Amino acid sequence: MTAENGFFHEILATLEAANKHLNLPPATFERLSIPRRSLIVSVPVQMDNGRIRFFTGYRVQYDTARGPAKGGIRYHPHVTLDEITALAALMTWKCAVVDLPFGGAKGGVACDPTSMSQGELMRLTRRYTYEISTFIGPESDIPAPDVYTDEQTMAWMMDTFSMIKGYSVPGVVTGKPVCIGGSLGRASATSDGLVITVMEALKHLNLSMKGMTVTVLGFGKVGFHAARILDSVGAKVIGVADSKGGVLNNDGLDIAALAKHKADTGTVCGFRPGTNMSVDELLGAPATLLVPAALEGQIHIGNVRNIKARIIAEGANNPITNEADKVLADAGVFVIPGILANAGGVVVSYFEWVQDLQRYFWDEAEIKKRLTSIISKSFHEVLDISRKDKVDMRTAATILGVKRVAEAINVRGLYP
């Protein structure tokens, strides 16, 4: 994507498509097209060799009409303001689709975490947290893990913020370790929610989970847990890819053994029994379900016609470009958009935040029961709009999310 036609441009195009059905007042639509606040910070870090390097960090609060901003922090070499703004907009719609009392935000640092030591990542995280500390807080903006960040990253962020305040503030982040206020069920929540939407889609399409074939693009937190859970409920995961390539076995992959292979070698490539292939080749595997679970733009006009899947459940945020989306819609592929399919993570983040604020924690069975209820209800609300307005599921989900945000904006009014 070019700067003139970047990720945020794609999000605005989806917003415009939704507005054809909503007919929002011009001022409301304009507000929804512009982030509320954007912060760019310089993050100086002393590296292990003594050199001081300067990284660029971002935090964007897209809209807070429905409540405190909520969204992850990613560490990646290609982090830009355009990307973070787009992801913050998606978080805004996502929180509204599942009817959480949150607005949307996103943050990130442009760095290569794979080439940094644990000490360097800790110093980067602590300084970045300090630089955005006036932006975040349990009543204003609550970060969470995203690409190349995890519960340890959140522990450093929570500790740094707490040191600034002078007392422990567990509710400032979610996705942190259970021992400091994290929630049970959070590690696999995004994938749990995705599988719930797949089960609802199968009912809608009169298909069965048992023996259903699956390919997964991305074998990180979301991709691994999605593959593991789908395998455990009777689906057959035949293909998995990561950033270095893919592996296919039409008889089904041993997910636990594949995870060990990736941990040992750094990639799924070379796993046996299995055949190595490129990501584009893997897209052509005759699977019922495809789960793109890495970065945005994985599926584009150059490879979309390879896809044989009947259903796509987006584990990543906007892994399908708008051009590719049109091709899939014309081909009759049932796409469950990320603002619904991967919303399980923010739902359980909401549970974690609530538990932190009340200092009372639930057991995992209660969390999974509440998650299933919220995701199932949201799926059918989106499906109803899709049928009523005769639009694809992405447009339907955007209509639902944008409508709820617009209602909050309009009822609150303009200050001063």
**Domain topology for 36-171:** Rossmann fold (3.40.50)
What's the token pair of residue 256?
């636990």
Q: What is the rounded distance in angstroms from the CA atom of residue 301 to the CA atom of residue 320? A: 9
In the chain, where the domains are located: 36-171, 189-336
Strands 37-46 and 69-76 come out as unpaired
Dump strand ranges (E) for 5-112: 37-46, 52-63, 69-76, 103-110
Q: What is the rounded distance in angstroms from the CA atom of residue 144 to the CA atom of residue 2? A: 28
| Active-site annotation holder among 106, 176, 221, 236 | 106
Question: In sequence order, what are the residues at sequence separation of 6 or more whose Cβ sits closer than 8 angstroms to the Cβ of residue 242?
Answer: 218, 219, 220, 223, 262, 267, 268, 269, 294
In the residue annotation, 20 being an active-site residue is answered as no
Question: In sequence order, what are the residues at sequence separation of 6 or more whose Cβ sits closer than 8 angstroms to the Cβ of residue 141?
Answer: 59, 61, 68, 69, 70, 105, 135
- Quote helix, strand, coil % in the chain, to nearest 5: 50, 20, 35
Phi/psi of residue 70, each to 5°? -140, 135
Equal fold, 36-171 vs 189-336: yes
pLDDT tens string for the chain (416 positions)?
A: 334 468 999 999 999 999 999 999 999 999 999 999 999 999 999 999 999 999 999 999 999 999 999 999 999 999 999 999 999 999 999 999 999 999 999 999 999 999 999 999 999 999 999 999 999 999 999 999 999 999 999 999 999 999 999 999 999 999 999 999 999 999 999 999 999 999 999 999 999 998 899 999 999 999 999 999 999 999 999 999 998 999 999 999 999 999 999 999 999 999 999 999 998 899 989 899 999 998 888 999 999 999 999 999 999 998 999 999 999 999 999 999 999 999 999 999 999 999 999 999 999 999 999 999 999 999 999 999 999 999 999 999 999 999 999 999 999 999 98
Strands 245-248 and 311-313 come out as unpaired
Q: What is the rounded distance in angstroms from the CA atom of residue 290 to the CA atom of residue 274? A: 18
CATH architecture of structural domain 189-336: 3-Layer(aba) Sandwich (3.40)
Question: In sequence order, what are the residues at sequence separation of 6 or more whose Cβ sits closer than 8 angstroms to the Cβ of residue 269?
Answer: 242, 244, 245, 246, 247, 276
Can you give the C-alpha Rg of the chain in angstroms?
A: 20
C-alpha torsion 281→286→289→292, nearest 10: 0
Q: 3-class DSSP state for residue 203?
A: helix
Using left for φ > 0, alpha for ψ between -120 and 50, and beta otherwise, residue 228 falls in alpha
